[in-house]
Amino acid sequence: MHGEFVSQLSIFVLAVFVGYYVVWSVTPALHTPLMAVTNAISSVIIVGALVAAGPEEISLAKILGFAAMVLAAINIFGGFAVTQRMLAMYKKKK
């Protein structure tokens, strides 16, 4: 039990560092494609959260799955809104 927690915590910390360095090294021209990829990743998170929230009995996994589903949905819709605003900046004015 203790070794499994340390293993998962180590993976989480490494993911935080990798994510931080990847996001901050992106040039502004690549921001919109990066947002599209993160929206796709969030949609995969929603599928995983649905699986976690699926069991009939109420458990910590079900509650965390529901929370992940809500946060990923907010991330997806917010990402699309930001992407649309950024693309509108590049449209020619009539």
pLDDT tens digits for range 41-76: 777 777 777 777 776 787 777 777 778 788 878 877
**What does the DSSP 8-state code read for residue 93?**
P
DSSP alpha helices (H): ranges in 25-59?
31-52
Identify the DSSP state of 54.
-
| Averaged pLDDT score across all residues of the chain | 77
> Which whole number is the average pLDDT over 1-19?
82
Residue 64 resides in a domain: yes
Percent of the chain past pLDDT 70, that is, above it, reads 91
Amino acid at 27: T
Backbone angles phi, psi at 54, to 5 degrees: -75, -35
Measured CA to CA, the distance from residue 62 to residue 56 in angstroms comes to 9
Contact in structure between 41 and 19 (CB atoms under 8 Å): no
Question: Does residue 57 form part of some domain?
Answer: yes
Look at residue 3 and tell me if it is in a domain: no
**What is the C-alpha separation between 50 and 69, in angstroms, rounded?**
7
Q: Which domain holds residue 53?
A: 27-89
pLDDT for the residue numbered 84: 79
CA geometry: angle 31, 44, 87, nearest 5 deg: 25
Instruction: Establish if 5 belongs to a structural domain.
Output: no
Structural domain count of the chain: 1
